[in-house]
Structure 1
Amino acid sequence: MTRLFKLPATLGSFAVAAVAAVTLTASPAADAQTTRLGFSGGPDGGTFQYFSNGIATLLSRNIDGVEVSNMVSAGSVENLRRVNSRDADFGITYSGDLYLGRNGRLTNDTNKYRNVHVVAHLYGAPGHLIVREDSGIKEVSELAGLQVAVGPAGSGAAASAQRFFTSLDMWDKIKPSFIGYSQGASALGDKQIDALWVFAGFPNASVIQAATSYDVRLLQVWDAAQKGTLPTEHPYYSKTTIPAGTYPGVDYDVHSISDSALWTAGRHVSEEDMYKFVSNIYSDDGLKYMHSVSKAAKTMVVENALFGVVTPVHAGAAKFWMEKGLTLNDDQKP
């Protein structure tokens, strides 16, 4: 199988150069033996990028005739659309975005993204809602009328922020700023914004950046969510605790909502290839490498592979998980 994926405008320059170099220098015979795949990750410095780059590196290194390019992306929702349209072969997508996307319920988007299947649960992604300690803000309700950085447009972070604040009847009351985590951490430090929403595994580099640069407070997102409609309208969110001491100066437990970040693949990826890819990543050596890539990957184990999955699993991955003794429920069956 040889397929050249379409290159979106947001593909990183390094990956573009790499593909261009191969195209210009490879002989026709060599090109025919190479399967080129695209893995749509996330913004630079985000947790998605650590995972997508780690998996892309392993597959390119270990599978003969396979070259996987790591692609910069706005995040979950963009990855869903890219994989569905075959602009990418793999992506990282939140379980909630995939569930809503399959059912035509994404915000301002009634398309049904049925070509995206789950490979595995990677990690739980809790919402961090950060303010400066000197702001005096202690409750989510106090953000009404204030500027909140929610992540890039098209990202899972921005989508989750909109769901959370909408459930509290606050989305139209805050002033959302669609910027990335690192830029948001700097803007909060400069008092250009009032709060920063980060939806990612912990510890997160941008939250550490903020907490080491100035005193921060993390608001109790779970407690606030129980006062609104989130539990009934979006039941795939679960409670998670960010332990005291995870971030500098934050000496209390933070209770928040969490979604599952999933490795996803297009239905067009063959069952045989997908089985081979999953087998490689979830080998002892593959998991050892992934656990070294990010602290968030510590939950990336066979036993957790179907955690938080409420949509169909790719046939090749399903075969592997069943061989490992896992059982797929009706929602997860291909």
Structure 2
Amino acid sequence: MHTFLRTVLPFVLVAVLALSSGAVAQRQFLSIGGGFVGGTFNVFAAGMGDYLSQQFPNLNITVEGSAGSAENIRRMQGGEMEMAVAFAGDAFLAYNAQAEFDDGPYDNIRAVGFLYGAVSQLVTLQGSGIESFDDLAGKRIALGSAGSGTHLSIERLLRQADMFDQIEPVFVAGQAASDQLKDGQIDAYHALLGVPNATLVDTTTSRDAHVISTLDAATESGFFETYPFYSAFTIPGGTYRGVADDVLTWRDAGIWIVSADMDDDLVYDMTKAIYEEAGLEHMMRVTNVAREMGLENALSGIAMPLHPGALRYWEEVGVAIPDNARP
């Protein structure tokens, strides 16, 4: 017996060590870019990160806070993140080296799928003197965090309508913007978030507020022709306390992006995990803003190449792939 143990035990130990080192080697540490604390980006990034970590024990996913879409894209291009939430418009412009991303191309990003409709919401308090888009002239407007998709989207509209030089821009977002509006430090703030969202709920439940319709300004200025990834959207009256009338505005799409060099099989497995029934149910428990996720809107707003792993999944489940989304 002792002879047997002396003979066999070394081989057993070698096998155990080999398995252990293999397990360590297979463990992957990934980061996913979100946004500011309490914002829709962070909620989605955390929800997806948690679920994928549960489904794939070899994955360790960290949520990275950021200024939002544009920063996420730039950091992914630089190899600082493997995944992120971004606006479809920013991703399109970055991939094609256009507008604010003309220092590109940002060719290390690939699309996975649609997450939610990101709706432009311009908020002020009753009695501010702001009743329409034109009334923004001479006012202190919080555009969003500097360089974020929230900021860039409203700046595009303001410039398209020849209004940007007529306002006093302030770069703050989320709860901080709501607080500054309530404290009188700013006259209005812009949010590019799901509907409803916590920031506007905070403002409208604690003050008498007004959400400005901006669709006419966008249409008349040629905004949709210049930026075809935006589309008209109506926020139903009653969505927020004290806002009884429909708000006519526009939206982008929040999408999931990954690094171009991420393993095809891994991206396929993650896409399948998030977009199949159990994953969608999890995301709905995280936030009801995820209610639009699924096959019907799978690639809504996406006008840049999909990652091959994501492409394989969407083709497998019968989603039509637009030509401009093919790798």
TM-score, with length taken from structure 2: 0.91
- Of the structure 1 ranges 275-284 and 316-325, higher mean CA displacement relative to structure 2 is found in 275-284
CA drift at 1:148:
0.2
What secondary structure, in the 3-state scheme, does the structure 2 residue paired with 1:217 have?
strand
Give 1:35's aligned residue.
28
Out of 151, 163, 171, the residue aligned to residue 170 of structure 1 is 163
What secondary structure, in the 3-state scheme, does the structure 2 residue paired with 1:211 have?
helix
Please identify runs of 4+ aligned residues in structure 1 that moved more than 6 A: none
Map 1:169-188 → 2, pairs under 5 A = 169-188=162-181
Question: Are the counterparts in 2 of residues 39 and 91 from structure 1 also a CA contact under 8 Å?
Answer: yes
Is residue 2:188 matched to residue 1:195? yes
Give 1:73's aligned residue.
66
Query: Residues 117, 256 of structure 1: CA spacing in aligned structure 2 closer, same or farther, 3 A cutoff?
Result: same
Map 1:211-250 → 2, pairs under 5 A = 211-250=204-243
Map 1:94-133 → 2, pairs under 5 A = 94-107=87-100, 109-133=102-126
Residues 20-72 of structure 1, C-alpha deviations (whole Å, 9 max, x = no match): xxxxxxx9665423101000011001001110000000111111311111111
Give 1:280's aligned residue.
273
Is residue 2:156 matched to residue 1:157? no
Structure-2 separation of matches of 1:75 and 1:184:
15
Structure-1 separation of matches of 2:91 and 2:316:
25
Paired residue type of 1:221: T
What secondary structure, in the 3-state scheme, does the structure 1 residue paired with 2:250 have?
strand
Structure-2 separation of matches of 1:44 and 1:271:
31
Residues 145-184 of structure 1, C-alpha deviations (whole Å, 9 max, x = no match): 1100011112100110110111110111111111122111
Give 2:11's aligned residue.
none
Give 2:16's aligned residue.
none
CA drift at 1:255:
1.1
Out of 269, 276, 283, the residue aligned to residue 290 of structure 1 is 283
The runs of 5 or more residues in structure 1 that have no matched partner are 1-26
Structure having the higher helix fraction is: 2
Out of 35, 42, 54, the residue aligned to residue 49 of structure 1 is 42
TM-align CA RMSD: 1.3
CA drift at 1:186:
0.7
- Of the structure 1 ranges 115-124 and 131-140, higher mean CA displacement relative to structure 2 is found in 131-140
CA drift at 1:137:
1.5
CA drift at 1:108:
6.6
Residues 259-298 of structure 1, C-alpha deviations (whole Å, 9 max, x = no match): 0111001101111110011111122111100011111100
Paired residue type of 1:67: N
- Of the structure 1 ranges 27-36 and 61-70, higher mean CA displacement relative to structure 2 is found in 27-36
Out of 139, 143, 146, the residue aligned to residue 146 of structure 1 is 139
Question: Are the counterparts in 2 of residues 132 and 214 from structure 1 also a CA contact under 8 Å?
Answer: yes
Structure-2 separation of matches of 1:29 and 1:213:
55
What secondary structure, in the 3-state scheme, does the structure 2 residue paired with 1:118 have?
strand
Structure-2 separation of matches of 1:232 and 1:284:
37
TM-score, with length taken from structure 1: 0.90
Which has more radius of gyration? Answer: 2
Structure-1 separation of matches of 2:290 and 2:160:
30
The runs of 5 or more residues in structure 2 that have no matched partner are 1-19
Residues 81-121 of structure 1, C-alpha deviations (whole Å, 9 max, x = no match): 12222211111111110111112113274221111111001
Question: Are the counterparts in 1 of residues 129 and 135 from structure 2 also a CA contact under 8 Å?
Answer: no
Query: Residues 324, 215 of structure 1: CA spacing in aligned structure 2 closer, same or farther, 3 A cutoff?
Result: same
What secondary structure, in the 3-state scheme, does the structure 1 residue paired with 2:272 have?
helix
CA drift at 1:229:
2.7
Structure-1 separation of matches of 2:101 and 2:77:
17
Structure-2 separation of matches of 1:86 and 1:291:
30
Question: Are the counterparts in 2 of residues 97 and 106 from structure 1 also a CA contact under 8 Å?
Answer: no
Structure-2 separation of matches of 1:28 and 1:187:
53
